[in-house]
């Protein structure tokens, strides 16, 4: 090879380097531009979620309504992305109070839409009818979900949860549960899981839900919770929090009032979760009779 060969090769190399540098610089500019667009979209989505969170939170009831009827009551809702499918419903009626904890299928935006709709339907039912049977309330909610979210004769909205009705006239408490999770801590301090129907709300248009009477004594507590609390992954071995760990948390603090217990349970959840993401929407409600 003569000198001209190497001279030409050097020129070609310089040219190749310049073209590649220019190409990389164009690619980088394109990436910066796309990144900016993504950031803007992300900001828009977060802003929308923030406002949606405000809308959904505004529908949550005042826990003080329950304090009119019981010694103490508190609840906590923590949706996975700020909005979600868990909802708390409390409404006083002419003869008592209705209270529910419902967990819509899924999480995020669709679950939040279902959850808001569920709250509005419950409000509509309890406003237009004098409900004194929680199983009727679940049955009506189930039917309304099928007529509202009908997709080929199947409701696309599903809920799990429990509805309670306290009658001031008879001083009785009854409940109906569609795969809902409820603990009762009796006066001996023992914790009992309350029975539940094995079907969820929205499964079939004419589902029947069982009504249970729950005799209670002053000082006893109930804890309604969604599976977001017990299914949270975490701990040293990245396992679920579980219902038995929740039970133990309550048992470990027999002298705490409802407000303190609410904080203890939530802190236990956060400690268990650690740096993991929140697994699901989470809610729980504590009532002391």
Partner 1 sequence: MQAQNEFIVIFKDKYTTLTYYEKLTLAICQVDAEYIPINDFKKTFEFISKFIETSKIFYFVFDKSNLRTFHQPSMEWYFAIWKPSLRAKGLVNHYKILPNLEWFAKAVEAGKHEILQKYGKDILSGINITYISSINEVIEQIEMNNKYVL
Nearer to partner 1, 22 or 47 (CB): 22
The answer to the question of residue 130 lying near partner 1 (CB under 8 A) is: no
Q: Judged by CB under 8 A, does residue 19 bind partner 1?
A: yes
Which three-class secondary structure string do you get for 94-154?
Answer: CCEEEEEEEEECCCHHHHHHHHHHHHHHHHHHHHHCCCCCHHHHHHHHHHHHHHHCEECCE
Q: Is 33 in the site for partner 1 (CB under 8 A)?
A: no
Tell me: does residue 12 bind partner 1 (CB under 8 A).
yes
* Residue 277 interacts with partner 1 (CB under 8 A): yes or no: no
Which residue in 137, 127, 116, 120 sits closest to 92, CA to CA?
Answer: 127
Contact 130, 165 (CB under 8 A): no
Least spacing, CB of residue 27 vs partner 1, in Å: 9
Classified as helix, coil or strand, 221 is strand
Q: What share of the chain is helix, strand, coil (3-state, %, to 5)?
A: 45, 25, 30
**Cα 121 to Cα 63: distance, rounded to the nearest angstrom:** 20
* Region binding partner 1 by CB under 8 A among candidate stretches 13-21, 60-68, 70-78, 260-268: 13-21
Residue whose CB is less far from partner 1, 27 or 187: 27
Indicate the residue among 21 and 150 with the shorter CB distance to partner 1.
21
Least separation in angstroms between residue 116's CB and partner 1 is 48
Binding mask 68-97 for partner 1 (x = CB under 8 A): ------------------------------
Q: How far is CA 211 from the centre of its chain?
A: 24
Query: What is the binding site for partner 1 (CB under 8 A)?
Result: 1, 5, 8-9, 12-13, 15-17, 19-20, 22-24
């Amino acid at each position: 090879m003569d000198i001209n060969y190497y001279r030409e090769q050097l020129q070609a190399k310089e040219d190749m380097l310049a073209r590649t540098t220019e190409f990389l610089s164009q690619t980088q500019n394109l990436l910066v531009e796309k990144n900016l667009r993504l950031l803007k979209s992300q900001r828009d989505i977060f802003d929308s979620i923030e406002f949606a969170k405000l809308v959904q939170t505004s529908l949550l009831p005042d826990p003080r309504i329950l304090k009119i009827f019981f010694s103490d009551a508190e609840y906590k809702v923590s949706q996975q992305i700020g909005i979600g499918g868990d909802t708390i419903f409390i409404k006083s009626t002419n003869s008592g109070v209705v209270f529910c904890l419902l967990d819509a299928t899924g999480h995020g935006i669709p679950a939040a839409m279902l959850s808001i709709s569920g709250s509005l339907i419950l409000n509509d039912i309890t406003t237009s009818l004098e409900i004194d049977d929680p199983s009727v309330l679940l049955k009506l909610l189930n039917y309304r979900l099928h007529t509202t979210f009908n997709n080929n004769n199947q409701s696309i909205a599903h809920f799990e949860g429990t509805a309670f009705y306290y009658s001031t006239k008879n001083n009785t408490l009854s409940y109906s549960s569609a795969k809902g999770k409820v603990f009762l801590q009796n006066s001996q301090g023992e914790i009992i899981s309350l029975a539940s129907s094995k079907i969820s709300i929205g499964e079939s248009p004419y589902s029947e839900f069982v009504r249970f009477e729950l005799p209670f004594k002053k000082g006893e507590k109930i804890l309604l919770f969604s599976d977001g609390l017990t299914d949270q992954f975490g701990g040293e071995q990245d396992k679920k929090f579980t219902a038995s760990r929740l039970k133990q948390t309550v048992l470990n603090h027999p002298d705490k009032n409802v407000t303190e217990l609410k904080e203890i349970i939530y802190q236990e959840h956060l400690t268990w979760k650690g740096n993991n993401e929140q697994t699901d929407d989470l809610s729980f409600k504590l009532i002391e009779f």
